[in-house]
Amino acid sequence: MNQQNLSSQFVAKTLFGLEGILAEELKNLRATKIVVLHRAVGFSGDKKLMYEANLKLRTALRILKRVFSFSATNSQELYTKVQEVYWDRFFSAEDTIAVDSSVSSEHFPHSQFVSQRVKDAIVDQFREKTGKRPSVDLENPKFRINIYINKDSCTLSLDSSGASLHKRGYRLQMSEAPLSEVLAAGLILLSGWDGKSTLIDPMCGSGTILIEAALFASKIPPGIFRENFGFMNWKDFDPLVWEEILKTSRESISLFPGKIIGSDISANAIEAAKKNIINAEFDVNLKDGNYITLMKSAFDLLEKTEDAGLIIMNPPYGERIKQDDIISFYKMIGNTLKQKYEGYDAWVLSANLEALKFVGLHPSKKISLMNGQLECKFQKYGIYPGTKKTSTVSLIE
Ligand SMILES: C[S@@+](CC[C@H](N)C(=O)[O-])C[C@H]1O[C@@H](n2cnc3c(N)ncnc32)[C@H](O)[C@@H]1O
């Protein structure tokens, strides 16, 4: 069989709540044997698919290629099994490595110890064979190895992504509490936005939702700005296959037909968003092109320019705001939506579940997500003629 087409097993890691969307993305890439896991999706495919997954998936953090699975219940067994792999098939003593671990096992209570033990087994194998050993570089290694342990079941993988895939390479400026690019892309896909109708983020901060929306609507693969992926260091890296994927991806890029509008109360946030948008090679406030409109405005004062569309927003959660103020802030969101955005669908992401109730509109969908360590709800509100405030708020008002 052609080496190129050999099928391998992979795991794409993601954030909690995005597994289903990631499985859909993998289906569209024609991956096979797709299995939804916890914060991950398993799949099968060939080398080309692995390259495409790294370049094109919007909601994946890493693509891990399975090398070897085994069972172990103690550190000596783990060490011996890791040494059953001929590691010089993948890299040499001159390379740098790092071992990441993800462990859920009573046999191995400390994941850092697992990483250490796997690293020892690998470097000792090189030292015994050649007298030299790969050195460890935790920040920027040439090869990342991943060990996943669930109870006594262990899987060693090679990380084909290298740096996490949320590092798209377009974000230069951060504003207050920026979203992960992977989460922002997840919000857009979960909202079901068609990429054509008007999309507004009225609390856009550094512009992550706007940029991920523009990438999606223009069919631009999110990895297009990156120069490096882990697989480029692999011995079997095929630059011709990679170049072909880049070429066909570039050919399918199109101007997005709709409008993407961002606004924020903070001038610094708008400045950061502008720099990031330009760095992602979109124009700001220009007519007749791939443009994103930016405005500095408080949400309740924002001038409404379109009759219908989709709003996605990630308001402050209130860590730095007094309780009374955060309640009136979320009431303002609900009132503004109801008074000015009839005909729109609005999605709000927040970790402040108490404050969310004060939006005062009935959510037609609620999705649980994690934003970093914070448990969040992503809620949809349809703003139709006669949309009612819910009783929670009228009782409190
Ligand atoms: C959690 S941050 C959004 C981060 C953004 N999603 C990103 O990825 O950078 C919330 C944003 O809401 C903005 N904001 C706060 N009050 C506002 C208001 N009344 N109107 C519009 N924007 C507001 C803040 O300036 C801040 O940029």
Q: Are residues 203 and 134 in the same domain?
A: no
Distance CA 143, CA 84 (A): 18
Whole-number Å distance, alpha carbon 202 to ligand 1 midpoint, is 8
- pLDDT of residue 394 exceeding 60, the answer is no
| Ligand 1 mutation pick, 261, 264, 300, max ligand atoms within 8 A of CB | 264
pLDDT tens digit string along 50-72?
A: 999 999 999 999 999 999 999 99
Q: Are residues 37 and 83 in the same domain?
A: yes
More confident residue, 141 or 324: 141
Classify strands 143-150 and 153-159 as parallel, antiparallel or unpaired: antiparallel
Give the per-residue pLDDT at 387: 65
Query: In this structure, is residue 169 part of a structural domain?
Result: no
Confidence of residue 288 (pLDDT cuts 50, 70, 90): very low
**Mean pLDDT of the region 290-296:** 86
Q: Are residues 152 and 198 in the same domain?
A: no
Give the per-residue pLDDT at 306: 82
- State how many domains the chain has: 2
Give the per-residue pLDDT at 391: 43
* Site residues for ligand 1, CB cut-off 6 Å: 175-179, 202-203, 205-206, 208-209, 264-266, 269, 298-299, 314-316
Q: Are residues 128 and 97 in the same domain?
A: yes
Distance CA 12, CA 50 (A): 10
Helix then strand count (H, E) for the chain reads 11, 16
What is the layout of strands, in order, in the sheet containing 96-104?
32-37, 40-45, 8-13, 62-71, 153-159, 143-150, 96-104, 135-136
Residues 6+ apart with CB under 8 A from 183: 15, 18, 369, 371
Classify strands 199-201 and 260-264 as parallel, antiparallel or unpaired: parallel
Query: In this structure, is residue 166 part of a structural domain?
Result: no
What's 45's domain CATH number?
A: 3.30.2130.30
Query: In this structure, is residue 168 part of a structural domain?
Result: no
Q: Are residues 151 and 186 in the same domain?
A: no
Q: Are residues 213 and 108 in the same domain?
A: no
Give the per-residue pLDDT at 383: 94
Give the per-residue pLDDT at 22: 98
Please name which of 321, 30, 17, 380 lies closest in space to residue 191, comparing C-alpha atoms.
380
pLDDT tens digit string along 343-383?
A: 999 999 999 999 999 999 999 999 999 999 999 999 999 99
Give the per-residue pLDDT at 290: 56
Whole-number Å distance, alpha carbon 51 to ligand 1 midpoint, is 35
Confidence of residue 389 (pLDDT cuts 50, 70, 90): low
Q: Are residues 340 and 390 in the same domain?
A: yes
What's 391's domain CATH number?
A: 3.40.50.150
Query: In this structure, is residue 14 part of a structural domain?
Result: yes
Give the per-residue pLDDT at 283: 74
Domain that holds residue 19: 3-159
Distance CA 193, CA 183 (A): 15
Confidence of residue 307 (pLDDT cuts 50, 70, 90): confident
For 227-236, b/e burial (b = at least 16 CB within 10 A) is eebbbebbee
**Residue 324 phi, psi dihedral angles, 5° rounding:** -60, -40
Please name which of 319, 318, 309 lies closest in space to residue 259, comparing C-alpha atoms.
309
Alpha-carbon distances of 331 from 336, 344, 351, rounded to whole Å: 8, 18, 16
pTM greater than the 0.85 cutoff: yes
